[in-house]
Every structure is written in C-alpha cells, then in structure tokens.
Structure 1
Amino acid sequence: MHRWGLRWVGWPVKQKGKARQAQQEAIASGQVQMIVGTHAIFQEQVQFNGLALVIIDEQHRFGVHQRLALWEKGQQQGFHPHQLIMTATPIPRTLAMTAYADLDTSVIDELPPGRTPVTTVAIPDTRRHEIIDRVRNACTTEGRQAYWVCTLIEESDLLEAQAAEATWEELKLALPELNIGLVHGRMKPAEKQAVMQAFKQGELHLLVATTVIEVGVDVPNASLMIIENPERLGLAQLHQLRGRVGRGSVASHCVLLYKSPLSKTAQKRLQVLRDSNDGFVIAQKDLEIRGPGELLGTRQTGNAEFKVADLLRDQAIIPEVQRIARHIHERYPQQAQALIERWMPETERYSNA
C-alpha cells in the first residue's frame, strides 16, 4: 500500500483505550485510506470517511446484519459501497441464487496445481487400534505427518465426542516413539502458533487438534487425517477439515472414525464424503439431506424460510424467478416494497444490503 501512497491500519481484536481511540479518529478524519479488521469495524462508534469498497473474507462467518451495517455506514455520507464477498465454503447454485440473489457470483472450482485427491474411508471406533497402527506406519515408515481431529476440548457428560486433551494423552501412551502436539481454541494465540509452527517445520509427527485447523493450515507433508465423531459435524466443515491433507504430491487419506450405531441420515452424509472430493457436489447433497436453513449454519435474518417455494423442487425456475425479482426491484420499487412488507415485514431493510 505504501507504494501507492496509501495509509492503512490494522484493527487488532484486543486493542483498547487510547490506541483504539486514536485509530477511530484517524479513520473518521480520512487520514487512513484502508482498514483491515474483524467484526470490530462494524461497531457503531467506528465512523468512516467516504467508505466506497468493502471486501469480506470468509463470508460464511458473517451475516446479512454485517453487510447491512457497512452499507449504512457508507450511506451516511452519500456513498453506495461496492462489496466483494469471498468464501471457501462451496454453496449450491440454487441456494446461492436465493441467499445471495442481489450479488453477481463467480466460482473457482478447480484445485491448485499439484494437489492430489484424498481417499476417504469410514471406520467404526471399535477398530481404533488399527487406526493408531496406521498412524504409526505413516509417521515412521513413510516419513509423513498426520492430524487427529476431535470435536470437543473437555470431557462432557452430555456428548460422547472424544475430547482433544484425553485423546492427546491416550495417543502419547500408545505412540511413545512419535512427537505429538496438541492445539485447540482455548490456548493462548502464541502457544497455538508455536505448536502449529513446530508441526509445519516437521518437528511434530502427529497433531491432535479441534476444528481450529479448519482453515489457514498448509502442511504439504501431512497426508493422513483422522476425524473422530464425524457424525457430529456438518458436511461443509468435514470437507474443509479434509482439505488440510492432499496438499502435496503424495496420496493422502482421511479416516472418518465414527461411533456406532449411525442413523440413516448420518450414513448418507458420510457416504457423500466417501464418494466425492468435489465441494459443490458435497454441498448439493448436503442441501438435499438437511435443507437450506441447516446448510447455511445458524439462521440469519434475511435468510427467511420460503413461504411457497422449495429449492429442490423448484430449482429449474430459480434463475427466471431471480430475473423477475431483480426487474421488479429496479423498475417498480413501490410494488417491490409492498411485496416485502406483505411477505417479509421483519426483513424489509435487507433488500438494500
């Protein structure tokens, strides 16, 4: 940014007091032309000076509320901020056309060069000892690294998921010849970063982790992943986790270590992962199994349930519906407003987001 004469500022999550006040004043006065931050920049006390462009990364972690908040901050000074929204989570085309109907969408559906497909198998936890032997062989004989993913941090009486800390202790006893690390969301950032760096540099053979490794981890030498209790995670999250392996040129494997018995739905979902490495195929199957509300995660205002339509039944006419809706919104705003007030009175503001 300095090359172009632009001043930018980062917005750390834990910044407080005078430092935060000084940054707010610099942003409001226009001294700063670019702001990089988290949800903190949506706060009411943060005022911009001519907000014209908003880039949101990992859109699936944001809601329509945040999009609207930034749009309104630009509106206060007569601007209509452009929005570029990115997500690594594949979304079925029909769902994207309804949930993000106001946005032009582009899809990057090819793997980066050098990536290899991941072979996925589902194995009951009664064969846990076999999987431990497989980890030993991969890390010693083959010289590879592995992930062991758990879904909870501490033991719970309510959930039967294996806790990462308990699994770490178990694997240290079962695999004394391996260097095993542990990482989870409750660790201090510096501690977590140190463990991840050690794994990336090859100092650790096996990394026991929670789903904090879902994104932002790139270790090409890691070719084996075990995911405990996969039936407790969504298909999109499982696909994201599986993407931590297969980042090098060697054959990679993902083991879904489930607890029997599985429900019919859980069996279908795990079969989808076994059958495909294509995120969009997986997302479409997830839509068919769970429906749009579940697929998008926590329900967000603006992602209203349909009154008449059914995404699966009506997917052939969705493009035409989108075209007609855009036409009415642009050419007949009064009629569009009347339709919104009639069918979605609580969400009328979101037609602007």
Structure 2
Amino acid sequence: MMALDDIPVTQLKGVGNALAEKLGKLGIASLQDLLFHLPHRYEDRTRITAMGSLRIGDVAVVEGEVMKTDIVMGRRRSLQVTLKDHSGFVSLRFFHFNAAQKNQFADGTQVRCFGEVRAGRSGYELYHPEYQTHPTPMADEGSATLTPVYPLTEGIQQPRVRALCQQAVAYLKRYPIYDWLPPWVLVDYQLPTITAAVELVHSPPASASVAQLLEGRHPAQERLVMEELLAHQLSLLQVREQIQTRQALPLLPQGDLSERFLESLPFRLTGAQRQVLQEIRQDLTQPLPMLRLVQGDVGSGKTVVAALAALQAISAGTQVALMAPTEILAEQHYQNFCAWLAPLGIQLTWLTGKVKGKARAQAMAALSSGAAGIAIGTHALFQNDVAFDRLALVIIDEQHRFGVHQRLALREKGAAGALAPHQLIMTATPIPRTLAMSAYADLDTSVIDELPPGRKPIETIVVPDGRRDDVVERVRNACQAGRQAYWVCTLIEESEVLQCQAAEVSATELAERLPNLRIGLVHGRLKSQEKAEVMAQFKSGALDLLVATTVIEVGVDVPNASLIIIENPERLGLAQLHQLRGRVGRGEQASYCVLMYHPPLSLNSKARLQALRDSQDGFVIAEKDLELRGPGEVLGTRQTGMMQFRLADFERDQHWIEVVREIAPRLMGNKVAVQGLVRRWLGEKTRYGEV
C-alpha cells in the first residue's frame, strides 16, 4: 500500500517545480514531510472585533467598508486604505503594493482583514494585514476554528503554506500515518493516534480547547511533542549503540602508579571525587567502551579525576589522548599533567595544529611507537595521519564545543583499529538535569558536586561602567595589597580581531592609569608561545594584572588572584560568566567579581546578572540560563545542531523528558520503529550520528 512519504508534494494542486524547490529548503519533499511541518502557534480569528474597541497591540480580525484610498508620499511611499464599521474606523497601510492592489480597494468595497494594531499617523493602523475583499460570511461560533501559523522560508507566504497543509490533511482519510509507538504507550499516557494528532494540529475543530492549543498543552500537541523528544533520545541511543558495537580493552591496572600520584598531591580527594572515580574505574575494567560524562562546577577537581583515569589506562600498558577545544586550555592541561605524571616516569607528548615540522614528526613517532603514554592537544590529535600504538582511553574536555560526530570518529583510533577506546567526557559547564538527559542520552553521567575544603564564596558586585574610576581604584588597592587581578574585555562582535583590539586598548589605558602595576595581555591572536609565557608570568606572580579576552574562560588556575573585572557582562551567557568568575576564589582569601555593565540593561540582562549575584552554584545558574536563553545557548550550537525542535519546548515540556528516557530503551529492540521515528523527526539531521 502506498504511504504518505511515497507521495511527492508535486501531487498537490498548485505545486510546480519552483514551489517544490522552495519547500525543499524547509526539508519538505513528500506529503508526510508537509504534515510534519507543524504549526508553531495559533491565531484566534474566530471573532470580528469592533473597530471602536481596538487597542494598540491587539491582534484582531476587523471587517468594514472602504471609505477612501490614498497613496501617501512620506519617507517611504505607502498605500493607505481607511475602513469603517458601525463603531469607528481603522487604516490599513501597505509599503509594498501595485496598481492592481490599489484597485481592489474601491470605495464601498467590503474588506475583512487580520493584523496587529499599531499607532499610526491617522490613528490606529494595521501594517500589511492579511485581507479578503468581498469576504464570505464568518463561520458561526459553533464551527469556528483557530488558524495555524507555520515556520516559513523565503518566498513562501503563510496563506500558501496553510492551503498546502489543508490539502495534505485531506489525504489522511485514505493514507493514515504509520504509528510507530506501541499500543501500550498510547494507553498508559492516554495519547491519541498519530494520524488524529497531526490532523487536529493542522485543522483544530471548533470543539478543541482554545486555551490548551494556544499554550501548547492540547493532547494532540502533547502526543507530537512526546514523539519528537523520543526520536531525539532514540537517535542518541543509536550513537551509543554504534560506538559500543566494537569491544574495548578492559583496563586492569598493574603496579602502584595511582597510589604514588595520590601520595604526591598536597590535598585529599573529596567524597564526590572518590565516588566519581569509583564509577570510572568500574567502567574501565569492562570490555565495552566507557561513555561517561563528568560534570563538575568550576574548581571541583575534574582534572585530578581525569589524571587518575589516565593512570589506570597507562598502568594497564595502553595510551591515553586528552583533547581540549582551545590551545590555551590544552596548554593548561599539558602543564598540569607534566607536573603530575612526569615524576612518575610517564612520557607526555603535545600536539596541536600549530605543532609543525620536526616537533610534529617527533610527537607522531612517540605516539605510533608507544613511547608516549599520553598525548595532550586540540582536535589535531584526531587527524587522519595521527597513529597511536595502543590507544585505549580518550578524555575530552568541554564536550559541548565539539559535535557528537567527533566522538564517533575517535573509534577509529582505538588499539589496533579493532577496539574502541573508552571515552571520558568532562565539562565545567553544569548542564541542567533535564537537558543532560536529552542532549547526552548516549552517555552515563557523573557529577562532582562538592568543592574542595577551604574554598571561599566569591562576592559578586554589579556596577554601571560610569563607575569605571572606582573599579580601577579597586584594582589598584587589591594589587598593592599583594593580590592579583583579571580584567576581562568582551565585545559583541564575533570578530576576534576587534576583541583583541579592545583588549589592547584596555591594557594601554590601564597601564597609563596604574603605572606602578605590572600588566600583561592575553588574547586569541597571540602566538601559543607568547600566551603561555604571559600566563606563566601571571601564575608565578611576576604580573599583578592580566588583561584578557574570554580566552581565560576555562582552566586557568592562579590561587593568588582574588579580583576579576568583567566588562560588558550583559553580552555573555550565564554559564560563560560563571566560568569566568571561577578564575578567582581558588585560594584562601576573600575574592570578588565585578560585573561592569553598559546601561541601559534589558530585563533579560538584569535577570541574568541578578542570578549570578544570587548564586554560586553552577547547576542553579545553568537552570536559570536554560530558562532565559534556551537549550541551544546553554549547550553551545555544535551540540544542539540536532536539537532544533519543531514543536517541543524544553521549559514547557520537561515533564515528558523522564517519560521518554524510560520508554526509549524499551523501544531500541525494534530497529524498524526506531529508524522510522528518527527519520520522521530528524530527517537529514540523522547524519550527525554517522561517521
């Protein structure tokens, strides 16, 4: 029997090649694709509003008779049509019009239109409303329905998409959509069939609850939201399954490397570190590749846990690769690991895109021969020509900067190419639980939720940039008292050049105003070596003040730094601000973070900065960030490239995430259903799950 995904959109009336091409940009090729191009909201056009009762901001249907039509010559030429009804009048204004359109509005013509009411030159106006001349009578209240509003692409207007979807809905009588969900799910959660749900959201009947539909809580919408979340969850479980199709080397440690390392540390592990380490050690002894995400707030000691995982692999006679998203963070790890592991007789090697020539050849030789136990670097570690002797553990820092497909590519570097390496993924960006359950469904999650003893909370102060002199004075006092400080410059422009220029200007200005302080500058355009030298000077206390762009966001650890100034914090997300704040508060002394904003602040920016003042807890802050900015911003775009939902909304639909997490593993055995659901909701985006 023919199915909806076998019927091309060109079967619909009025769809020629040109329109089919435009629909293709929306990912619509078949009738099924069109039916799953779902309305993202509704408009209530069921009642005509009297013109005399309109208020600015109302979105309403009005109907009346044309009083007059004028072409108004202002800064922009426009067509102004004045309508009247029994209660008053309103103007329609069109900036794009032609003679034929003007002629439609002859005096006395009856017009019904829909739009938003604004204040205009002649009183209330509707700009570019949707309209009908000589309209048919309105449906009576018993049969009136809401009007769906669809996502659009260039060159396709809302009425066109609406009409096409209505044509497609008519096919559902003959070609119902295949329901991939097992009957028990529909019964347990009281959900309608997929065909009924799709039909209702495109053509809500008059009996449907207007309030539920407008809020996105109608059972038909809930059914579709749940299925969409389920498809995303299944796609990530497929990634996990794909990685685990290959076996891993069980890493059974020999000797006392870990014990010697722990004895050399000047502190004891926290309870949370020991718990997470136990989970990792257990995973590493299994013949399946570990896939574990370790979340820990700034300064919670994830790096020590990673070092102990690395020692387990090295003591089992295998190699480790540690990948960080930026050179500065990779360098920080390299310095830490050298200080910790070199005394234990372990050879480390360093590999980034900037390592060239002889140095690169030496690093490659050390890896392929097995002489180097651990390689640290950026994604350059996973270029095709880099060969390991016995790679068995990959540690990835700040995973949200990489895509899922990069994790899949790591499989090929495993020992002898036949065994998949274990994967330990670390992030200092706390991820709200619901988001982690969806975005990282392919990973087991551990949380280090305890800070080392002695850490003092950081006091956060919010000031306008009009008080810059006071802030500069604060820096002078802190540095004269023997402390060190950061001054972070942020720019709204994406351009790294402009960001670096801003940092250079600030450094010059601060050097003039604070002539007795030793000031360093770090930004993204400095050579690796120069950056490392400045950071080393700051760390050793040879510099009092470090002016930087956000390159110091993660990983930099200077216990004597007790003050950080962040310019224009309103331009950054909460997670990034929390990361930057975490550069201080690493020693015993009281520490301060000054957020120097440029007024006026939007309500959203005020809420963000207030959240930072109110809490030191990265997970609380992450929840607030999710609420204010959405999942794409919290996770980073690479991770959420596949999380562009059509209908689901993380805030509104959190109650489904637990449900979906329980259902998904039970469906994984039915490969056809899994593939059907993933293709239906993710379509071409499923490529992220392929190598």
TM-score w.r.t. length of structure 1: 0.87
Q: Which has the higher contact order (CA 8 A, sep 6+)?
A: 1
Partner of 1:56: 396
Residues 313-322 or 104-113, more deviating: 313-322
Partner of 2:601: 262
Distance apart, 1:160 and its partner CA: 10
Partner of 1:224: 563
Distance apart, 1:65 and its partner CA: 2.0
Distance apart, 1:42 and its partner CA: 2.6
Partner of 1:200: 539
Partner of 1:113: 453
Pairing partner for 1:307 from 630, 634, 646: 646
SS at match of 1:260: coil
Cα distance in 2 for partners of 1:338, 1:169 equals: 60
TM-score w.r.t. length of structure 2: 0.46
Higher CA-based Rg? 2
Code of the aligned partner of 1:304: M
Distance apart, 1:209 and its partner CA: 1.3
Query: Structure 1 residues 49, 90: CA separation in 2 closer, same or farther (over 3 Å shift)?
Result: same
Distance apart, 1:32 and its partner CA: 7.0
Partner of 1:291: 630
Deviations 1:167-211 (A, max 9, x none): 111111111222222222222222222222222222222111111
SS at match of 2:565: strand
Query: Structure 1 residues 179, 82: CA separation in 2 closer, same or farther (over 3 Å shift)?
Result: closer
Distance apart, 1:254 and its partner CA: 0.5
Question: 1:51–1:79: 8 Å Cα contact kept in structure 2?
Answer: no
Code of the aligned partner of 2:408: L
Q: 1:343 aligned to 2:684?
A: no
Q: Compare the two structures and name the one with the higher strand fraction.
A: 2
Code of the aligned partner of 2:677: L
Partner of 1:100: 440
Cα distance in 1 for partners of 2:476, 2:396 equals: 41
Code of the aligned partner of 1:39: H
Cα distance in 1 for partners of 2:349, 2:596 equals: 41
Aligned counterparts, 1:56-135, within 5 A: 56-71=396-411, 77-135=417-475
Query: Structure 1 residues 88, 261: CA separation in 2 closer, same or farther (over 3 Å shift)?
Result: same
Query: Structure 1 residues 231, 52: CA separation in 2 closer, same or farther (over 3 Å shift)?
Result: same
Partner of 1:44: 384
Deviations 1:4-49 (A, max 9, x none): 6557763522334576567667767878775444212332344566
Aligned counterparts, 1:15-34, within 5 A: 15-16=355-356, 20=360
Residues 342-351 or 45-54, more deviating: 45-54
Code of the aligned partner of 1:335: A
Cα distance in 2 for partners of 1:327, 1:29 equals: 44
Question: 2:400–2:638: 8 Å Cα contact kept in structure 1?
Answer: no
Partner of 1:144: 483
Residues 266-275 or 36-45, more deviating: 36-45
Deviations 1:271-314 (A, max 9, x none): 11111111001111000000001212224466322233322122
Cα distance in 1 for partners of 2:371, 2:547 equals: 45
Query: Structure 2, unaligned stretches of length 5 or more?
Result: 1-310, 320-346
Partner of 2:57: none
Aligned counterparts, 1:225-244, within 5 A: 225-244=564-583
Question: 1:152–1:162: 8 Å Cα contact kept in structure 2?
Answer: no
Cα distance in 1 for partners of 2:508, 2:554 equals: 25
Cα distance in 1 for partners of 2:548, 2:499 equals: 17
Partner of 1:319: 658
Query: Structure 1 residues 205, 18: CA separation in 2 closer, same or farther (over 3 Å shift)?
Result: closer
SS at match of 1:163: helix
Query: Structure 1, unaligned stretches of length 5 or more?
Result: none
Partner of 2:110: none
Code of the aligned partner of 2:426: M
Code of the aligned partner of 1:264: L
Query: Structure 1 residues 50, 345: CA separation in 2 closer, same or farther (over 3 Å shift)?
Result: farther
Question: 2:488–2:566: 8 Å Cα contact kept in structure 1?
Answer: yes
Cα distance in 2 for partners of 1:339, 1:25 equals: 46
Indicate the percent of aligned positions where both proteins have the same amino acid.
64
Distance apart, 1:215 and its partner CA: 2.0
Query: Structure 1 residues 194, 19: CA separation in 2 closer, same or farther (over 3 Å shift)?
Result: closer
